[in-house]
Structure 1
């Protein structure tokens, strides 16, 4: 009887084990595109530093899903003023977006985007530029395909070359590997190729690029230290540079409250750049930037171009 009881318990255990649900593996996310590899560090070190002049941007949205944007910039070095007006219509149901813009340099830009219509994860993009006064034109056709673990893109520059460019990024468990190559039809050879590897996690990211026919090496690092503090750095080594050495840039971002943050960065040449961004009210944002050449702090000449100051204002309604 005792042996029979053990056998019965064993059968019950095996039955329970066989009927347990098999744990499913988490699906892999779509990796970033080639141009967005290292984006966290790049945004930290490049965005929100309006040091080259004053800019104004106004965005509005109509009930019929037509968005208008008017932007203007005054360059502090040349005192020139440039601007553009843009209209964008989005048909969410059919995945269609049409954007048209006209700039003060008499450029007419048209962009047509179609997403997830021919195939799930496929986006087609036609971007054209026309300068009627100079009879200059350009057309770039882009196909983007993205799925879990892979993000690819193919670009055809119709009038230049023509040139075909393809890039791809493969990701698995945070590890990223990508490459890019550009082929010129008229010359029949590759005119550009590059590669990159990286690792991305919620709190930090590391990316290494090899650009310009593997002649320039760039390494970037981003770290979200806390919910209020971010830090990052980038080092670039150009094997063809005559000066030699590695250029290094480090920066940080700190949130003062829910509506304001400050940024600071400095490079190995001693250029210190500060930025301050304040949300004045919902949809209204102001940014201010200051660049100081710490090696020329005592240079008070009026023509000193090392020190720069600027501002940017954005209205979004």
Structure 2
């Protein structure tokens, strides 16, 4: 008798290990600050802001999240500096075990723009599926499913325009997850864009990964390739590095200064334009991020 299969990752999390390795903790687009606090009544507050070094624009938002674990209920409200109001209400494991329902809305009072998306997630042994209905856009119904067995993964996604009665987008993916490594291949944008990602935990302190992207409709042709690594220096600090086939090198350093306080620094250098008269632009970028979490 075979053992129960674990719940596979969702469609959006296929290849997540590689994506996180190559995408997170590289803070070279400017300055960012994030402050998180938690009240005894299970209300979490988060204030986040960033300044783009290229445009000098400042973006920020304040978010409050209330959670009732006993009833599987989460309510989130946020207000951004663009005067956009975001609301989300989630209910999990109440209608059925493994089922999560949520309603996410946004409202821009000045522009009169609004969105409403109804989402559902259902996961069981070897099975993970999601569905969403964009009420005001289309309306558009989107669904994806991932099946997993013995580490092998297969997934598919499709979007259907209810008004026009046609499929507007579809994609597929194959992958394999093991404790030390993961491989994922995606066919996106109606199977016109293909990506392959690889992740390997070399040791307890070292990780490596790569991602290749091929767009059959690209006017430039060829494959975009990016490789990177992460090294854990000690329990409170790590360094990351990556390079792509365009010659851009990125470095990131993250240090936990004390419990709840984290600082990250990043730099990106275009090795084909090292003679740029400006040491940090426009070809080169630097940035910093601070996170305070109580």
TM-score norm. by structure 1 comes to 0.92
Larger deviation: 24-33 or 237-246?
24-33
Q: Quick check: 2:280–2:286 contact (8 Å CA) kept in 1?
A: no
CA distance in 2 between partners of 1:304 and 1:274 (Å) = 16
Q: Which residue of 2 aligns with 1:150?
A: 127
CA distance in 2 between partners of 1:112 and 1:288 (Å) = 35
Q: Quick check: 2:156–2:170 contact (8 Å CA) kept in 1?
A: yes
| Deviation at residue 302 of structure 1 after TM alignment | 7.2
| Deviation at residue 187 of structure 1 after TM alignment | 1.8
Q: Which residue of 2 aligns with 1:3?
A: none
Aligned to 1:231, what secondary structure does the other structure show?
Answer: strand
Q: Which residue of 1 aligns with 2:237?
A: 260
- What is the aligned counterpart of 2:3 among 26, 31, 52? 26
| Deviation at residue 228 of structure 1 after TM alignment | 0.3
Q: Which residue of 2 aligns with 1:275?
A: 252
| Consecutive aligned runs of 4 or more in structure 1 exceeding 3 Å deviation | 301-304
The answer to which structure has the higher strand fraction is 2
CA distance in 2 between partners of 1:76 and 1:301 (Å) = 14
Q: Which residue of 2 aligns with 1:8?
A: none
- What is the aligned counterpart of 2:90 among 95, 103, 113? 113
Aligned to 1:45, what secondary structure does the other structure show?
Answer: helix
Unaligned runs of 5+ in 1: 1-23
CA distance in 1 between partners of 2:256 and 2:248 (Å) = 27
Query: Does 1:44 pair with 2:21?
Result: yes
Computed over aligned residues only, the root mean square deviation of the Cα atoms, in angstroms, reads 0.9
Aligned to 1:41, what secondary structure does the other structure show?
Answer: helix
Q: Quick check: 2:63–2:77 contact (8 Å CA) kept in 1?
A: yes
CA deviation string 1:257-278 (max 9, x = no partner): 0000000000000000000000
Q: Which residue of 1 aligns with 2:44?
A: 67
Query: Does 1:197 pair with 2:164?
Result: no
CA distance in 1 between partners of 2:277 and 2:16 (Å) = 37
CA distance in 2 between partners of 1:120 and 1:96 (Å) = 14
Q: Which residue of 2 aligns with 1:186?
A: 163
CA deviation string 1:16-57 (max 9, x = no partner): xxxxxxxx5321100000000000000000000011110000
Aligned to 1:93, what secondary structure does the other structure show?
Answer: helix
TM-score norm. by structure 2 comes to 0.99
Q: Which residue of 2 aligns with 1:18?
A: none
